[in-house]
Amino acid sequence: MVDLLEYEGKIIFKEYGIPVPDFKVVSDEKDIPDFNERMVIKAQVPTGGRGKRGGVRIVNNREEAVKAMNEIKNINFDGYRAEKFILEKAYVIKKELYISVTLDRSVEMPVTLASAEGGVDINSVPQEKIYKKPINPFVGVTEYTKRELSKFLGLSEDHAQEIGRILVGLYSIYDKLDASLVEINPLGLTDKGLIALDSKITIEDDALFRHKEIPVRYFGLDEIELEAKKKGLSFVKLEGDIGIIANGAGLNMATIDLIAQAGGKPANFFDLGGTDDPEKVIQAIELASKVTNKVLFINIFGGVTRCDTVARGVVQAINELKPKFKLVVRIRGANEEEGRKILLDHGIDSMLNLDEAVERVVKLAGE
């Protein structure tokens, strides 16, 4: 998932006819012009709750803005520092609303969510105060949906048109950019009408191939997770000391569960995926070695990935890496006999039964 920063989202909002405050993106004090009105300066960071940590401040002139910016630059936002800032007019806000378009997995269609209680986490708003309506992609946003939405939010006649246009804009962004979430929170009701005071746009990884305009960068990932992602591998770091490599996401999760249930502490989730290249297995073991302290558990159910391929990769990796940790290999399925033989020829004992393998892993980790 790629999360856009607020200012990137607001540029897109503007293109799609969603009203945003006039804003300027600044990163250095020389970018800040002279002014004499109520403005707001906001840190551009990919984390929530920046306001609570002092990342959003009201300023009345250039001097205050420069001071605020320099102070905010010293704040640590979950490991991120603000490098860019939005400087925009601070409106008098009569009311803060919420509106978004996202995928509803249950109805398998995009859905708009809206509430008159904006400015807070939508998950904390009671269901009955949320307007929820699927948008059929073959139909788009209907006129009656706009009327329903406006009424639900308690908007007056003159704002009904505006909210309709905003919904159309949000849905168009969702559709055209393959977004998984397009959110305005808060949507401010001001004396200048409805204005998007913040933006959140999330784009799915799977769709990035057709969006070269979207900057590919990932927030909130550990160094090893990022390295894996660049190699097209799926890796999630956990807190424990038992490294895990399995093929397939489901088998991986199940392996973690079994280890944890047996009292072990998994260090990671790592999907080897389907491969017939021993080199990929070596790469995987190299990467997993970085989080493994005590035992590395390789659990393979062969299909597309054949057991002999895995065995060859394991043998080579162990010869090259000469790891200090212990190794437990469990292989079943396609070419399991051949795979076991290759391992045994190199002095590596492999197991067939999953429960027994898990038991051994946890026992070795406890030694």
Catalytic residues: 98, 183
Applying CB under 8 A, among 22, 34, 37, 108 the residue interacting with other proteins is 108
- Rounded Cα distance between 243 and 234, Å, is 14
* Subset of residues 111 to 130 that bind other proteins, contact rule: CB under 8 A: 123
Cβ 341 to other proteins, closest distance in Å?
A: 18
Is residue 8 near other proteins by the rule CB under 8 A? no
Cβ 305 to other proteins, closest distance in Å?
A: 8
For residue 186, whether the previous peptide bond is cis, meaning omega lies within 30 degrees of 0, is yes
Cβ 156 to other proteins, closest distance in Å?
A: 33
Cβ 30 to other proteins, closest distance in Å?
A: 38
Is residue 238 near other proteins by the rule CB under 8 A? yes
Is residue 258 near other proteins by the rule CB under 8 A? yes
Asked if residues 197 and 188 have their Cβ atoms less than 8 Å apart, the reply is yes
Is residue 348 near other proteins by the rule CB under 8 A? no
* Subset of residues 275 to 304 that bind other proteins, contact rule: CB under 8 A: 301-304
Is residue 178 near other proteins by the rule CB under 8 A? yes
Is residue 236 near other proteins by the rule CB under 8 A? yes
Cβ 174 to other proteins, closest distance in Å?
A: 8
Shorter beta-carbon distance to other proteins: residue 137 or 154: 137
Cβ 228 to other proteins, closest distance in Å?
A: 11
Q: What is the 3-state secondary structure (H, E, C) of the chain?
A: CEECCHHHHHHHHHHCCCCCCCEEEECCHHHCCCCCCCEEEEECCCCCCCCCCCCEEEECCHHHHHHHHHHHCCCCECCECCCCEEEEECCCEEEEEEEEEEEECCCCEEEEEEECCCCCCHHHCCHHHCEEEECCCCCCCCHHHHHHHHHHCCCCHHHHHHHHHHHHHHHHHHHHCCEEEEEEEEEEEECCEEEECCCEEEECHHHHHHCCCCCCCCCCCCHHHHHHHHCCCEEEECCCCEEEEECCHHHHHHHHHHHHHCCCCECEEEECCCCCCHHHHHHHHHHHHCCCCCEEEEEEEECCCCHHHHHHHHHHHHHHHCCCCEEEEEEEECCHHHHHHHHHHCCCCEECCHHHHHHHHHHHHHC
Shorter beta-carbon distance to other proteins: residue 11 or 111: 111
| Count of residues of this chain found to bind other proteins when the rule CB under 8 A is applied | 50
Shorter beta-carbon distance to other proteins: residue 65 or 228: 228
**Listed ranges 4-12, 69-77, 257-265, 339-347: which one lies at the site for other proteins (CB under 8 A):** 257-265
- Rounded Cα distance between 259 and 359, Å, is 8
Applying CB under 8 A, among 30, 105, 322, 324 the residue interacting with other proteins is 105
**Listed ranges 13-21, 73-81, 163-171, 328-336: which one lies at the site for other proteins (CB under 8 A):** 328-336
- Rounded Cα distance between 189 and 194, Å, is 5
**Listed ranges 155-163, 259-267, 318-326, 342-350: which one lies at the site for other proteins (CB under 8 A):** 259-267
Cβ 83 to other proteins, closest distance in Å?
A: 24
Applying CB under 8 A, among 6, 88, 96, 271 the residue interacting with other proteins is 271
- Rounded Cα distance between 184 and 201, Å, is 9
Shorter beta-carbon distance to other proteins: residue 178 or 227: 178
Shorter beta-carbon distance to other proteins: residue 138 or 144: 138
Judged by the rule CB under 8 A, the positions of this chain that interact with other proteins are 1, 103, 105-106, 108-110, 123, 136-138, 175, 178, 180, 204-207, 209-210, 220, 234, 236, 238, 246-254, 256-258, 260-261, 266, 269, 271, 301-304, 332-334, 354-355
